[in-house]
Amino acid sequence: MRIADLNWMQVEELARREDRAILPLGSTEQHAYLSLAVDTILAEKIALDASEGMGIPVFPVVPYGLTPNFSEFPGTVTLRMATYCAMLGEILSSIRQAGFRRILIVNGHGGNSPAHGAVYDWLEANRGCQVRWHNWWNAPATMGKVKAIDPVASHASWMENFPWTRLANVKMPAEQKPMPDLDRIALCDPGEKRKALGDGNYGGLYQRSDAEMAEIWQVAIAETRALITDGWA
């Protein structure tokens, strides 16, 4: 249930009977031949698909995150840590003020993970609330399924190539890209990183079958849905 499909009066009524809400977090950054909004698209879609039919509001996905290392790739947008953490805290406070006390954050971008610490600070100041942080793509069952299909999977490779993250009329390379020295890449500044990565794929095939991607997506839906329904205090 998208918040975008509700008005304020409907949200007020909803919060009287449901105290759970979902906040997807994305990013706008290079993904080789895929959309710059891959992380945003996937975070929102998994949140909506996992909560389908449950009557739980999904707030608009936050499309910008922490991605300074890709700043030399045109189209990438990055925020400062202080800006992002402050923004996240204020969003959570607004969701709380609307009446929601159990909030699942569905994060689609690994670079956002350091902001998890800001959530703990927010919870300290907002006793009685619960927040779960879910990196959907590397949760145990989902990543296990990815590795079972093909252990060579990385940023901007096949594992992020779904029908809804591809671009029309953009042809994917057929070969498997060799994995780089990740320890060396981690030490590169943004300009050096762009030179080292070339198209931005970290390594692996660029695309696998839609049937295999559908299998991964179903595992991710089930794993995310379990966090929505189970284990809250």
SS3 call for 4:
helix
- As a three-state string, the secondary structure of 7-19 is CHHHHHHHHCCCC
CATH class of residue range 3-143+211-229? alpha beta
| Distance in angstroms (rounded) separating the CA atoms of residues 139 and 155 | 16
Please give the backbone phi and psi of residue 182, each rounded to the nearest 5 degrees, phi first.
Answer: -65, -30
Find out whether 101 and 91 touch, Cβ atoms under 8 Å: no
Asked whether residue 172 carries a pLDDT value surpassing 90, the answer given is yes
Q: Convert the pLDDT of each residue in 55-79 to its tens digit.
A: 999 999 999 999 999 999 999 999 9
Asked whether residue 115 carries a pLDDT value surpassing 90, the answer given is yes
The predicted model gives 147-164 an average pLDDT of: 97
Which tokens in the block code for residue 195? 């030179």
pLDDT band at 80 (very low <50, low <70, confident <90, very high): very high
The letter for the amino acid at 162 is: F
Q: In what order do the strands lie in the sheet with 102-107?
A: 20-25, 102-107, 130-135
Closest CA to 141 of 219, 218, 215, 212: 219
Q: What is the pLDDT of residue 182?
A: 87
Q: What is the domain partition of the chain in residue ranges?
A: 3-143+211-229
